[in-house]
Amino acid sequence: MSTKHSKRAAKFNRDTERVSRHDKTFWSVRQRRDSLAHNIPEWEDLREAANNIKKHTITHLADYLEMFEKAATENGAHVHWAKDAKEYNSIVIDIMHSHGVRKVVKSKSMLTEECHLNEHLEKEGIDVVETDLGERILQLMHLAPSHIVMPAIHITKEEVEECFEKKGVIRDAEPHISKAERDAAPPADPTYLTRCARYHLRDNFMTADCGMTGANFGVAETGDIVVCTNEGNADMSTSVPKLHIVSMGIEKLIPDYDSLAVFQRLLARHGTGQPTTVYTSHFRKPRPGGEMHIILVDNGRSDILANEGHWQTLKCMRCGACMNTCPVYRRSGGYSYTYFIPGPIGVNLGMLRDAGKHYHNCSACSLCCSCDNVCPVKVDLSSQIYRWRQDLDSMHHADKMKKTMSAGMRYVFERPSLYTTALRMAPWANHLPSFITNIKANTWAKGHSMPEFAKLSFHEMWKRGMVDNKKS
């Protein structure tokens, strides 16, 4: 049973300060993206190149997958294929069992969220430590990410401090930070809290038996895995443990290093408004004496590829720019969407995963098209949402109230004289008392003042020669 996006959004909207901060934070990231874009004259050419490379790779995926497997195997990595989440989880667990892994340090990977890997590892008695700071905060709070690039952006520094106190992160750091430094730190000081997290994580890096990373890109020609982070946690996760497991969705492949250069210029500029991520790590082969396993995961991607109306979602490189710009996401937060990936791309991916569970998310869109305009690989996000909405009726998921309203509007629009009469009468509604217009059924009135109808419609003004069409 799906919960309406609007209900979940209403819950998020109760905390007006949090909503305002959420909105402003993401809008500032969008603005940083714009100012970086304006400094690159070939910006639109880059987006077009990225779009073409992704289209080409996805439509020749079988060839590139084979090329990648061959190169990675020649480099000394073990390549595994997982058709779905179940197979993926069991491959990871088998590898870990065969190496006697008790603790794994993980850098951020949305694919592991998609496959619910952590739950499976914990059931096997394996201690899982997320090492991206935002992800670690959420793990300690037992919360899911609310954004794909900035997963804990909705959490305040005061909440982080409280969590670190409760979960022993501050205690772990005590031997490394002098009392004088601790006393000098203001309450909920982000620098102090980050230092605590660093010491807490460092202990975990040193004692882990396995490091897991995702993959921002897999380079087919060379078999390289490219991981972009701002915290260096992917490097720490793979520098201490001898066992490295990479989880990669099959759509993450790009042909070669020339292609990588295009995506590298776009990824961080779009995602966080930075010229580049602080670390761009290239993993080609196992460490001396170690093992590197790359798991290529399908989990529904082949079905998406075969979907004529929606295959272009596979171009997505998970930069998060469509979320940062989306007015609905910014004001309703990540948890208002039922799919684990929120925002414009999440609406589409959720429908592809399970339309019956996620169809309410299609309403979380004003069709402003801003997401299409910022996407670095030109995924046609709003057109796809529009198409899903058109399909809802045949899927038996159309909203009954909206259907009735649409039928009523159609009836009026198909009868010009009725339409004209209705327009003439509309200004009468301006005199209705608010207890009539602000009824529960009129959801528009929630949080809005009802707009006044103009005395004359535009059509009427045009007919009467009241519009200066030279100015318009």
Interacting residues with ligand SF4 (CB under 6 A): 316-322, 325-328, 344-345, 365-371, 374-377, 379, 381-382, 385
Taking each continuous run of H as one helix and of E as one strand, the counts in the chain are: 24, 10
Contacts of 406 (CB under 8 A, 6+ apart): none
Whole-Å CA distances, 235 to 264, 283, 286, 369, 457:
18, 9, 13, 37, 64
Cβ closest to ligand SF4, residue 268 vs residue 371: 371
Query: CB 347 → ligand SF4: shortest distance, Å?
Result: 6
Contacts of 397 (CB under 8 A, 6+ apart): 355, 356, 359
Question: Dihedral, CA atoms, 202, 203, 208, 212, nearest 10 degrees?
Answer: -30
Query: CB 341 → ligand SF4: shortest distance, Å?
Result: 8
The DSSP-derived string for 45-83 is HHHHHHHHHHHHHHHTHHHHHHHHHHHHHHHT-EEEEES
Cβ closest to ligand SF4, residue 286 vs residue 350: 350
Whole-Å CA distances, 432 to 54, 326, 408, 465:
55, 35, 22, 30
Cβ closest to ligand SF4, residue 48 vs residue 159: 48
Cβ closest to ligand SF4, residue 89 vs residue 338: 338
Cβ closest to ligand SF4, residue 205 vs residue 329: 329
* Residue with tokens 């519009």, as numbered in its chain: 467
Distance of CA 112 to the CA centre of its chain: 14
Query: CB 48 → ligand SF4: shortest distance, Å?
Result: 14
Query: CB 333 → ligand SF4: shortest distance, Å?
Result: 13
Q: How far apart (Å, rounded) are the C-alpha atoms in residues 117 and 399? A: 35
Q: Which of 215, 326, 425 is nearest to 337 (CA)?
A: 326
* Residue with tokens 């909203």, as numbered in its chain: 399
450: DSSP letter = P
Cβ closest to ligand SF4, residue 36 vs residue 188: 36
Report CA Rg, the chain: 26
Cβ closest to ligand SF4, residue 107 vs residue 332: 332
Cβ closest to ligand SF4, residue 49 vs residue 236: 49
Q: How far apart (Å, rounded) are the C-alpha atoms in residues 234 and 88? A: 20
Query: CB 364 → ligand SF4: shortest distance, Å?
Result: 7
Which two tokens mark 471? 């100015």
